[in-house]
Amino acid sequence: MASIPSHGLRHLSTTRCSFQFHFHKFRSSTSLAASPSSTTSHDDSQRAEQHDPPSSNGFSSKSQSYFPKRGQTLELVCESLAFKGKGLCKVSDTGFVVMCDRVLPGERFVGRVTRRKGNYAEVTKLETLSPHWDLVDAPCEYASYCGGCKTQNLSYEAQLRYKEQQVHELLTHVGKFSQKELEFHIVMKPIVPCEIQFHYRNKMEFSFGSKRWVPKDALKEKQEGDEINALGLHAPGFFDKVLNVDKCLLQSGPANQVLASVQECWRDPLLGLSPYDVHSHKGFLKHLMLRTGRDVNTGLPELMVNFVTSSYKPELLMPLVEKFSDIPEVVSVVNNINSSVGNTSVGEEEHVLYGKSSIRESLRGLTFQISANSFFQTNTHQAEVLYRLIEECAGLKGDGSEIVLDLFCGTGTIGLTLAKRARHVYGYEVVPQAIKDACLNAELNSICNATFVQGDLNKIDQNFGNNFPKPDIIISDPNRPGMHMKLIKFLLKIKTPRIVYVSCNPATCARDLDYLCHGVVEEGIKGCYTLKSLQPVDMFPHTPHIECVCLLELTPDSQMGS
């Protein structure tokens, strides 16, 4: 999806905004600024350093106490998890807020200040002094190093509790919803857990690299002559270093079999294979993508293997294909060619090396065809739950009388699941391939009352809305940046009775809900919707990601004026 342009949209600094609550909560008797505009500037803090002598704990007695220096070492206790899974801590005796990755609530640790951002700082954990609350043993050997499963050693019940808390705080302090508006069990619902907490991902992408990343505590085990090439996941904070991974507990068993087979032989010098180097732009192998689907007739899993390479040399890949082609679940092996210097997994051309060109999956009674570069919900099992909630919120009468507008429709999965109860579904999406897949999926399921249009919803003009009837229900499922102000204005102008907002980013979701319900003062725009329900859904256990399904209804006075 295209990124949102800066013009016309009041951007949300998710980091700062999500911290506002904590600044109010933790500040000491000395005033700590509650908004970015009133915070002490870097120059002010430097002047404070010159006039305020430091105390024994490294801080001065006045305002400088809120500004620890870069490189300073602090003993901290994690108070809670903030959005994106970072631990929120406060400096003892001062209340100054610091953020630290890979710490969990209740954990006491030593950290070093790496960045200072006015009214908060970032620290890096050096040593754990005492473990966090709800400690469990992480079953994955890479959990401490991989950037994916940050909370695997936190009990699942605690993960849910903190995710729910994050959504509530963002709604309150970014969305500006009062406690009365939310009334927890009436508007904001308890988070829906995921029944399957491992092996739930139907797609994983691994990278080949010429620089293997080894964690510091494992360096002593590294022997001279060890392989420097790696196949795995990018090390956190590095685009050019790869953590070698032999098994991932989030993907299916057959996918792990394929990964193990490739790991076993791809470094063999006789095969003449080389990993792509992002600095020299030389090398052949870029990515290994594994997608798991399901045979709609037998219900058995079927696996697609996608090699992304810098050029088309199938003879180099065939020894690898022969290695795992006898795994029964492997029904498709494709080769995407990406000759650009960029390291994206989407190719300019695609070739089938073995089996068929796509796999299938069923969702809400429909069949979807999935190609190597198709978008599909990553957690199929939980997508069933998510789509059921969307369908319930949409509240279609079922008599075939209603028009549904599906914004950011992707490959049409949401709109197509609603089409059987609607008069017509109109879907809009910026990615051309996604629109092609949506049309194919409609044909595959014999759905004739769905129209899919390619277009950038960030660049709509005054004519948007002229090519379809006024919708009775709007589904909006934007990517992480949320909705552009142009689209917000369109929604407030058209005044559809119901909007179902599906979000993968609760921070931008809270911002957009504020616009739709409370208006945009600086734009002179009045809100005209009431938030009737917000349902958090845990789509990705052990990660900081949170999905939300929100139902908005037009306020009665707005209905009278429309």
Q: For 128, phi and psi rounded to 5 degrees?
A: -90, 125
Q: Is 61 helix (H, G, I), strand (E, B) or coil?
A: coil
Which residues have C-beta within 8 Å of that of residue 43, sequence separation ≥ 6?
Answer: none
Using CA atoms, how far apart are residues 425 and 404, in angstroms rounded to an integer? 5
User: Distance between CA atoms of 295 and 248, rounded to whole angstroms?
Assistant: 23
141-159 core/surface letters (b: 16 or more CB in 10 A; e: else)? ebbebbbbbbbbbbebebb
CA-based end-to-end distance of the chain: 33
Tokens of 465: 């809305």
Task: List all residues 6 or more positions away from 161 whose beta carbon is below 8 Å from its beta carbon.
Answer: none
DSSP code at position 462: T
Query: Can you say which residues are annotated as belonging to the binding site for S-adenosyl-L-methionine?
Result: 377, 408, 429, 477
Instruction: Give the residue ranges of DSSP H helices in 122-155.
Output: none
504 is catalytic: yes
164 Cβ contact list (under 8 Å, min separation 6): 190, 191, 536
Annotated binding site: 377, 408, 429, 477
Sign of the CA dihedral with 434 first, then 305, 321, and 239 last: positive
Q: Give the phi and the psi of residue 374 in degrees, each rounded to 5.
A: -70, 150
CA atoms within 13 A on the CB side of 27: 15
Cα 384 to its chain centre, rounded Å, is 18
Helix spans in 345-470 (H): 380-394, 413-419, 432-444
Q: Which residues of 377-389 are buried (b: 16+ CB within 10 A; e: fewer)?
A: bbbbebbbbbbeb
The angle at the Cα of 193, spanning 234 to 109, to the nearest 5 degrees, equals 55
Q: Where are the alpha helices (DSSP H) in 214-345?
A: 253-265, 314-324
| 8 Å CB contact between 111 and 98 | yes
The rounded distance, in Å, linking the Cα atoms of 513 and 20 is: 18
Closest CA to 367 of 314, 322, 428, 411: 411
Catalytic residue among 504, 528, 548, 550: 504
- The pair of three-digit structure tokens given for residue 553, joined into one six-digit string: 């209804």
Q: Which long-range contacts (CB under 8 A, 24 or more apart) does 338-341 make?
A: 338/286, 338/308, 338/309, 338/310, 339/310, 339/311, 341/281
**C-beta pairs of 25-30 under 8 Å, 24+ apart in sequence:** 26/79, 26/90, 26/95, 26/97, 27/95, 28/93, 28/94, 28/95, 30/62, 30/63, 30/65, 30/66, 30/94
Q: Is the dihedral of CA 477, 480, 486, 489 positive or negative?
A: positive
Question: What's the rounded Cα separation, in Å, for the pair 19 and 403?
Answer: 40
Active site residues per annotation: 504
